[in-house]
Amino acid sequence: MALITFTSDFGDSDYYVPAVKAKMLSINPQLNIVDITHKVENYDVAHAAFVLKSVYDDFPKGTVHLVAMNATSNMTEGYIGIKLEDHIFIGPNNGVLSLLSESEPGIIVKFADIHVQQSTFPAMDILAPIAAKVASGAAIHDFGGPLTAIKKMIPRNFKATKKQITGHVIRVDHYGNLLTNITKEVFDTLNPGRYKIEFGRENLNRLNSTYDQVEPGDCFAFFNSLGLLEIGINHGHGADLLGLRHDSPVFIHFETEG
């Protein structure tokens, strides 16, 4: 299956997205191109990585994922293709691909100069042709040589003890709900049965299972489909009403005997 996903911060009001798609389809009109999102906050590679990380593994193995984020930045050290968990990712070597998984890529290829022309629009001129050809059957090795490591960005991680988990908001979604980096796995491991969730000026001593398990206007907290602690206000914009934003701290205090 010639399947490509496409993630960028291009928005939907300019020619950028269709231009990239047109370039890929001119190489193989049979390509199936799936938009992940083009409404990533401008230049926010962490946002792009979070969205793609949340869904890429749901696509068939062998899917090619085109990531067009900050490709013209002076922080970009060339353009690369990686194989990660039986998926292929193509994008700039600026750290965005390092945020997709804690696992190291099985293959890393830096695209050779012959495939990397000077361009103000590298997503169209450089990345799109390679993505289209790889999705059509070419190997990423055909476009360059091995690279020992990709440029890395350090994600914000939670801290955990027997008494407390300290996490942070890593994403405010379209509804104003706050997704944190506190995982269900670590909570289940440490939870003694009694706990208090603290965020902003609010405290909760129970987890919910759905948004609507609390009355409109009340706070909720549950572990979502990604296994991450999500907090917010039912039928309200939690970030605004709670005064929280990206990187705001969230705590789970455990009540232990003795």
Alpha-carbon distance of 92 to 70, in angstroms, equals 7
pLDDT band at 258 (very low <50, low <70, confident <90, very high): low
Q: Residue 202: what pLDDT?
A: 94
Task: Find the mean pLDDT for residues 235-242.
Answer: 96
Give 169's contacts (C-beta < 8 A, 6+ positions apart).
178, 179, 180, 244, 245, 246, 247, 248, 250
pLDDT tens for residues 142-185?
999 999 999 999 888 899 999 999 999 999 999 999 999 999 99
pLDDT tens for residues 198-230?
999 999 999 999 999 999 999 999 999 999 999
The average confidence (pLDDT) of the chain is 94
CB 109 within 8 A of CB 80: yes
Q: Residue 155: what pLDDT?
A: 83
Task: Find the mean pLDDT for residues 46-58.
Answer: 95
For residue 88, pLDDT beyond 90? yes
Q: Residue 116: what pLDDT?
A: 85
Burial of 178 (0-12, 13-18, 19+ CB in 10 A): buried
Q: Residue 207: what pLDDT?
A: 96
Q: Which H or E element spans position 255?
A: none
Give 131's contacts (C-beta < 8 A, 6+ positions apart).
4, 24, 64, 66, 90
Alpha-carbon distance of 62 to 68, in angstroms, equals 19
Q: Residue 225: what pLDDT?
A: 95
pTM above 0.85, yes or no: yes
Task: Find the mean pLDDT for residues 4-33.
Answer: 97
**Percent of residues, the chain, with pLDDT higher than 70:** 99
Q: Residue 74: what pLDDT?
A: 72
Residue entry with tokens 């070419």: 138
176: left (phi over 0), alpha (psi -120 to 50) or beta: left
The structure tokens listed for 152 are: 């890395």
For residue 111, pLDDT beyond 60? yes
241: three-class secondary structure by DSSP: helix
For residue 32, pLDDT beyond 60? yes
**Alpha helical stretches, state H, 136-208:** 184-190
Q: Residue 76: what pLDDT?
A: 79
